[in-house]
Structure 1
Amino acid sequence: MMERGKISGLQMAILLYPTIIATAILLVPAISGKFAEQDMWLSPIWASLAGFLTVYIALLLHNHYPELTIMQYSGKIIGFIPGKIVGLGLLFYLLHTNGVVLREYGEFVVGNFLPSTPIIVITGSMAFVCALSVRGGLEVMARSAQIFIPVFMTLFLVIILLLFPELRPANIFPVMDDGITPSIKGAIVPSQWFTEFFLIIFMLPYLRTKEKRMTWGMLSVVAVMITLVITNLFSLLLFGDITSKFTYPVMSAARYIDVADFLQHVESIVMAIWVVGVFIKVSVFYYAIVIGTAQWLHLSDYRPIVFPIGLLLIIFSTWVAASLQELSHFLSTVWPFYALVFQLVLPVLLLLVAMMRKKAAENDN
């Protein structure tokens, strides 16, 4: 086993939480608001169903092949050559998606804080720091997340508490005026953030104990759902039906904070949340790419390829879109279906084939 580090179920949940939340917390309110309007706070509840299903499917696959990741057991399920083709497609998807995340981070930082800094400096520095984390292994990443998550949560709660005086409860009414349909439409795109729990597949073989795997996975989904419900609700209570007009509603909300003409301009808190969250998210995707590539190539160690893949990651972050507008269009139109194929449909198909093969083998016996 090329990964010698071991993590607990709690550490796995802590790694997964910011992996989903990091980008969702800034982008989901505007996306949900566009379709669900005053029911946008309900959308994360429906979207979370995709997260529960993804974790459940990943755990069922893990039960069939407890010591392997999807890169290894896909060949055992559908054959060597088809398994290699599926693995290559999955690696491209992970690299592409992580490039999108890195580009989102760069666009946010340059657009809001460092307008004169070349975006490649921003994305390159984050990729380098994440490469150091990935090279340290899964256990190092988990310990880093344990340190950063309290900071992440504290800063998020500070923003929430400081926004209370600005909220207008009347913005939530009427609730479900057009039925449940708008809130479900507002959940379609955000549901693909929840399918990123697919990354649990790359962590399950390295858990110290097999107990409470399902519990910790599901609790992480619940934590993400609650965080997004709160984020959407506060965005709605602050901005009402114009929430969808903002690219980053949470950043715009932070600019409203003014406590006694003393505590103002707390956008730096949102920046800190963004940096901490993206560091963990990029690292987890990066780790999946690196260990997946090593397993696909049958290498004995993944560490020698960490920095070369980091260079590819920076290139992909530049290549994914020509502008922020093009990137936003991709995320709201193509990406939901693109992500669904690799993060949910592919594992479901592999599970069905694995179950049929197992049943056929039992019948032969």
Structure 2
Amino acid sequence: MGRLLEQGKISSDQMGKMVFLAIVASAVTAVPSYSGKYAQNDLWLSPLWASLVGFLTVYIAFSLNRLYPNKTIIQYSTDILGKVPGKLFGLLLLFFYLHITGLIARGYAEFIIGNFLPQTPISVVTVTMIAVCAYAVKAGVEVIGRTAQCFFFLFLFPLVLMPFLLRDMHIEFLFPMFEHGLLPSMKGALIPQGYFSEAFLMAFLLPYVTDRHKGLRAGMLLILGIALVLTCINFFILLVFGKQAADYLYPVMVAFRYISIAEFFENLDSVVMTVWILGMFVKISVFYYAIVLGTSQWLELADYRPLVFPIGMLIVALSFWSLPNLYESGRFDIVAFPFYGPLMQTICPLLLLAIALVRQKGKRQSEAPTAQAASGSVHSEKQEG
């Protein structure tokens, strides 16, 4: 069924860049502020703790794909759990991704309106982004993969600009380090670990990877890369704002307003916004694609493209229905998402993997006596002959 639905192929490198942008694009704006609330001047360490969830999630996704190489989680969940329980789990997972994608679209629109287009209706910002993403999703995984490959190094460009903040940095903001032990930095990792669990999107992409034997390595490298990028960003933000980083809603954007290169290149936050929009385009497209592909597999359709626009309209609707305002969106990120994301993308797949391994072991044990009996009967026949 997977081959009928998607003819495109991507490399493990493209898959890694797709998932990298899908995680970092929204995490980069929120993580410094959220981690700073708990970790304070140890916030630079929080992404490293959070990455442990990412490494586990990648291993789970790859292990499940190794057992069912040509299927996504929507397909092999019925093989593992049975027809009805597997369908119910698949429906629950699809609803989760639909809900999360609506929240991502809402967060994107709130960020654009709050920072750059205050007079623009939020519906216009949301609909235009979903419309562009729908075009990419309809083109297939190969187009999204190539887009991620093109935008990847451009997205990292703001990191190159960050050292120009040096004249506004204060090394003393790093101290005292570990004043209250490691616990504050671990608390600061609660929210980032929800973003790292999004690496489970690999479960929808691995069946279409040409060099799948490199998938685990690519996945581990992408988690390591995300951890290093978020650590660097948190480190620079800490040196600029200190403990006050938690007081800003979008500290990264505020920091880039401080950059002045030769007193000529200033107000670089507009450059950062442009690059960030490209990253959000890839992020929403990957989530959107996973929903459309998974829904078509759940319904056992021969083509996923007729679902692209109906699901796009659902995403737009959920972006307005899910949360009433920016305050509630931030509250959801702090209170619910650190548990909601890992539950659906790490813990439930881990249980699925455990059940699959137990069932496969039981199947091998039941087949062993049959094989021995068959070989014994053949041997006795030879003796009689």
Same fold by TM-score, threshold 0.5 exceeded? yes
Q: Which amino acid aligns with 2:251?
A: P
> TM-score normalised to the size of structure 1?
0.98
Is the counterpart of residue 9 in structure 1 residue 12 in structure 2? yes
Distance 2:129 2:29 in 1: 18
Q: 2:223 maps to what in 1?
A: 221
Q: Which amino acid aligns with 2:242?
A: G
Is the counterpart of residue 54 in structure 1 residue 66 in structure 2? no
**Alpha carbon RMSD of aligned pairs, Å?**
0.9
- 1:156 is displaced (CA, Å) by 3.4
Name whichever of 258-267 and 198-207 sits farther off: 258-267
Q: Which amino acid aligns with 2:337?
A: W
Q: 1:310 maps to what in 2?
A: 312
Q: 2:344 maps to what in 1?
A: 342
2:40 is aligned, of 37, 49, 59, to 37
- 1:7 is displaced (CA, Å) by 0.7
Distance 1:352 1:39 in 2: 36
Q: 1:197 maps to what in 2?
A: 199
Q: 2:380 maps to what in 1?
A: none
Q: 2:374 maps to what in 1?
A: none
2:190 is aligned, of 188, 194, 200, to 188
Q: 1:287 maps to what in 2?
A: 289
Determine helix, strand or coil for the equivalent of 1:179: coil
Q: 2:360 maps to what in 1?
A: 358
Q: Which amino acid aligns with 1:26?
A: T
Q: Which amino acid aligns with 2:18?
A: L
- 1:93 is displaced (CA, Å) by 0.4
Q: 1:74 maps to what in 2?
A: 77
Determine helix, strand or coil for the equivalent of 1:4: coil
Name whichever of 288-297 and 354-363 sits farther off: 354-363
Determine helix, strand or coil for the equivalent of 2:189: helix
**Larger C-alpha radius of gyration, 1 or 2?**
2
Q: 1:178 maps to what in 2?
A: 180
Q: 2:164 maps to what in 1?
A: 162
1:117 is aligned, of 112, 117, 120, to 120
- Is the contact made by 1:43 and 1:186 (CA closer than 8 Å) also made in structure 2? yes
Residues 217-252 of structure 1 show CA distances to partners (whole Å, capped at 9, x for unaligned) of 101001100100011001100000111011001011
Q: 1:210 maps to what in 2?
A: 212
Q: Which amino acid aligns with 1:185?
A: K
Q: Which amino acid aligns with 1:239?
A: F
Is the counterpart of residue 142 in structure 1 residue 145 in structure 2? yes
Is the counterpart of residue 256 in structure 1 residue 258 in structure 2? yes
- 1:260 is displaced (CA, Å) by 4.5
- Is the contact made by 1:3 and 1:137 (CA closer than 8 Å) also made in structure 2? yes
- Is the contact made by 1:128 and 1:310 (CA closer than 8 Å) also made in structure 2? yes
Distance 2:146 2:159 in 1: 20
Q: Which amino acid aligns with 1:15?
A: M
Q: Which amino acid aligns with 1:127?
A: I
Q: Which amino acid aligns with 1:111?
A: G
- 1:364 is displaced (CA, Å) by 1.0
Q: 1:85 maps to what in 2?
A: 88
- 1:94 is displaced (CA, Å) by 0.2
Q: 1:318-329 alignment to 2 at 5 Å?
A: 318-329=320-331
Give the length in aligned residue pairs. Answer: 364
Structure 1 consecutive aligned stretches of length 4 or more whose deviation exceeds 6 Å = none
- Is the contact made by 2:159 and 2:233 (CA closer than 8 Å) also made in structure 1? no
Structure 1 portions without partners, runs of 5+: none
- 1:273 is displaced (CA, Å) by 2.5
Distance 2:215 2:276 in 1: 28
- 1:271 is displaced (CA, Å) by 0.8
- Is the contact made by 1:156 and 1:273 (CA closer than 8 Å) also made in structure 2? no
Distance 1:361 1:199 in 2: 29
Residues 14-67 of structure 1 show CA distances to partners (whole Å, capped at 9, x for unaligned) of 111111100000000001100001110000000000000000011111111011
Q: 1:234 maps to what in 2?
A: 236
Q: Which amino acid aligns with 2:26?
A: T
Distance 1:149 1:45 in 2: 21
